[in-house]
Structure 1
Amino acid sequence: MKLAILGAGMIVKDFLIMVESIPEIELKAIIGVEQDLETMKELQTRYSIHAIYTDFDECLNNETIDTVYIALPNHLHYIFAKKALEKDKNVICEKPFTLSLEELSKLEELAEEKNVILIEAITNQYLSNYKMIQKDLSNIGDLKIIECNYSQYSSRYDQFKKGIILPAFDPKKGGGALMDINIYNIHFVIGLMGRPLSVQYLANIEHGVDTSGVLILDYGTTKVTCIGAKDSSADIRSTIQGTNGAIVVNGPTNMVRSYTKQAQTQAAEEFNYNVHEHRMYEEFKQFAKIILENNRDLARQRMQHSKLVMEVIDLALKSADLR
C-alpha cells in the first residue's frame, strides 16, 4: 500500500506511532493546511514520509500513491473521499464514514464504478479479542441484555459551555456524543447482532447537539443500550448477559484490550488475544492485505456493516430530532 495521509491531528500522530510495524505500508505523503506545515515537517522527518502537500488535488495527481487515509473532522469525510475516489485512489476513511447513509451510498457507487477499495477505519471490528467475543457468544446461552457505556468528560465541553463551539460539539460538523464516541458502541453491537428491530435515541441536547445520550436497540429477545457521554464520566465498560453467563469488556469498545467470561457456575476468566498493543495495528494490517490483493468481496462485506451502522445512526438522529 502506497499511502497518502490526509490530516495532521492527534489520530494521525497516533497512527504513525504504529504504522512502522507494518512494512507493507509505504508512507508516500502527508496532506494538510498551511498552518500544519511545521507539524507535518516534524512528522515527515520522524517517520520518513516521502512528501508534504498543502494542495490535495496536487497530491492526488501523484501516480505513485494508490491509497488515501482520511483522518479529518467528520463533516469533511464525504467530500475528500469523493475527490480521492474520482482520481481512482483506494480510500480508508475514519469513523464515522459519512454523516448519513445517503452520502455513504453515493461513495459506495463511485468506488464500484472506479473499481477501487473503499473501507472504514473502525478498530474494534478487526481486533482479535472482538473476533473471539463473536465466537464466545454461543457459550453464554441465549442473549438477554447488552450494555455498552463509553462516557468520557470532554475538555471541549468546558469551552462549549462558554460558547466556544469546536467541531466535536458542532452539529453542522457532525459533532455530538452519538457520532463521536457512542459510534464505537454501535459498531461493537452491530458486529455481534446485525440489524435491530427498532432504534430509539434518548439524548441530552444543548444548543442543538447531543452532549450525551442513551441509544436503545431492540432485538426481540435481546435488549441493548449504548451509552455515550461527553458531558460526564463513568466506568467505561460493556457487558453481554446470557442465560448461561456473561462477557465483560473493561475499557472502551474501540480498544477491547481484554475481556472476561464467566459461566453461571464457574469462576471468571480473563482473555486477551490481541496480537499488538496498538488498537489500530490489526485493522491496518488487514487493510494493507485487502488492497494488495484487491479483495473487493471482503471490502464489500465491510461496507455492508458500515452501511448498517449509518442506517442506525440516521434512525437515532431522527428519533431525537437531531440534524
Structure 2
Amino acid sequence: MKLAFIGTGKIVSDALGAVEPVDNLERTAIFARPRSKGKAQAFADQYQIPEVYTDYTQLLEESTADTVYIGLINSAHYPYAKQALEHGKNVILEKPFTGFYDQAIELRDLAKEKGRFIFEAVTILHNEVFTEMKKNVAKLGNIKMALCNYSQYSSRYDAYKAGGEVPHAFDPAFYGGALYDINVYNVHYCVGLFGEPNDATYYPNLGPNGVDTSGTLVLSYDGFSAVCTGAKDSDSPCYLSFQGDQGFMHVASKPNIASELTITYVDPNNHATVRDAAGAEVRATITEDFKAGAVYHRMTQEFSDFSRMIDEQDFAAAYQLLDESVAVVGVLEKARVKAGIEFPRN
C-alpha cells in the first residue's frame, strides 16, 4: 500500500509514527493546506516522504499513492473521501466515518462501484480484546445489560469554556461533540457484538453553542438495553461491561485502548452455590482472563489490516467492516437528531 496522509494534525502525526513497522506500506505523500505547508514539509523530512502537496486535487491526479488516509476535521471526511474515490484511490477515513447516514451509504456504494476499498480507522475493530469478546459473548447466555463509559476531560474544554474561538472538537459546524468523537467507540462495541439496535435515544449535556459536551446514549435491543456514556467535560474510570443471565465480560480501561478482558460465567459442571457477604446466593463460576499482546502503537494493527486487505484484494473482510461503520453512523444520526443536535450540510 502506497499511502498519502491528508492533514498535519495530531492524529496524522500519530499515524505517521504508528505505521513504521507495517510491512508493505510506503509513506508516499502528505497533503496540507498552504498555510500548513511548513509542517507538512517537516513531516516529509522526518519520515522520508517524497511527495508534498498543498492542492488536494493535484495529489489525487498526480501522486503515486494508491490510498489516502484522511485525518481531517469530522466535517471534511465525506467530501475528501468522495473526491478520492472518484479519482480511483482507496480511502482510510478517520472516525467518525461521516456526519450523515446518507453520506455513509453514498461512500459505500461509490467504493463498490469503483472497485475500491474504504475503511473507517477506528482502532477497536482491530483490537485483540474485541475479537476475544466476539468469540466469547455466547458464554454470557441471554444478554440483559450493556454498560459502557468512555469519559476523559478534553484538553480543549478549558478553551471552549473560556469563550472566544470555539475549538473544532466543540463546534457543531464541524460535527464536534462527545457523541461523535468519543461515544462512537462504545457504539462500535455494541453494534459489533449485538448488531444494530431497534432504537437509539441520546440524553446530552449541551454547551452554549448547542454541542454535546457529554451525554448518555441508550440503545434498545430485543430483551435488553445498552447504556453508553461519553464525556469530554469530565473524568471517570472508563469501562465496558456486558452481562447476561449466565455471566459477564468486563474491561477496566478506556474503550479505545482495551488490552485486558475478564470473562466470568456459570460453571456448567458445578451446581453448588454459596452466600456472599450481602447474603445473596451466588452460583459457582469460571473466570477467564485475557491479556492482549504488546503493540507498537494503538493504531498500528488497523493499518496492518488495511494494508493486507488491499494487497490481497480481500473485499469480503473489508466490506464486513464497512457495513458496521455504516450501521454505526445510522445509530449516531438517529440519536443526534432525536436529541435536537443539528449539523449543517457541507
TM class, shorter-chain normalised?
A: over 0.9
Residue equivalent to 2:39: 39
Cα distance in structure 1, aligned partners of 2:253 and 2:42: 32
Residue equivalent to 1:10: 10
Cα distance in structure 1, aligned partners of 2:58 and 2:337: 39
Cα distance in structure 2, aligned partners of 1:160 and 1:20: 35
Residue equivalent to 1:185: 186
**SS of structure 2 residue aligned to 1:91:** strand
- Any idea what the Cα deviations from partners look like across 1:86-136, whole Å, max 9, x if unmatched? 110011100111101111112122222222111111110111111011111
TM superposition shift of 1:267: 6.7
Residue equivalent to 1:217: 219
TM superposition shift of 1:273: 2.9
Residue equivalent to 1:303: 322
TM superposition shift of 1:40: 2.0
Cα distance in structure 2, aligned partners of 1:184 and 1:114: 29
Question: Contact between 1:129 and 1:274, CA under 8 Å: does it hold in 2?
Answer: no
Cα distance in structure 2, aligned partners of 1:270 and 1:321: 42
Question: Contact between 1:140 and 1:263, CA under 8 Å: does it hold in 2?
Answer: yes
Which blocks of at least 5 consecutive residues in structure 2 are unaligned? 267-283
Residue equivalent to 1:320: 339
TM superposition shift of 1:304: 1.2
Cα distance in structure 1, aligned partners of 2:310 and 2:156: 36
Question: Contact between 1:128 and 1:275, CA under 8 Å: does it hold in 2?
Answer: no
Cα distance in structure 2, aligned partners of 1:169 and 1:19: 29
Cα distance in structure 2, aligned partners of 1:153 and 1:35: 30
Structure 2 residue 217 is the aligned partner of structure 1 residue 253: no
Residue equivalent to 1:281: 300
Residue equivalent to 1:58: 58
- 5 Å-filtered alignment, 1:197-276, equals 197-206=198-207, 207-264=209-266, 265-266=284-285, 268-274=287-293, 276=295
TM-score w.r.t. length of structure 2: 0.89
Give 2:308's aligned amino acid: K
Q: Identity percentage over the alignment?
A: 39
Q: Once structures 1 and 2 are overlaid, which stretch shifts more, 45-54 or 25-34?
A: 45-54
Please report the RMSD computed on the Cα atoms of aligned residues, expressed in angstroms: 1.5
Residue equivalent to 1:173: 174
TM-score w.r.t. length of structure 1: 0.96
**SS of structure 1 residue aligned to 2:213:** strand
TM superposition shift of 1:44: 1.6
TM superposition shift of 1:268: 4.5
Structure 2 residue 27 is the aligned partner of structure 1 residue 27: yes
Give 1:177's aligned amino acid: A
Total equivalences in the alignment: 323
Q: Once structures 1 and 2 are overlaid, which stretch shifts more, 236-245 or 73-82?
A: 236-245
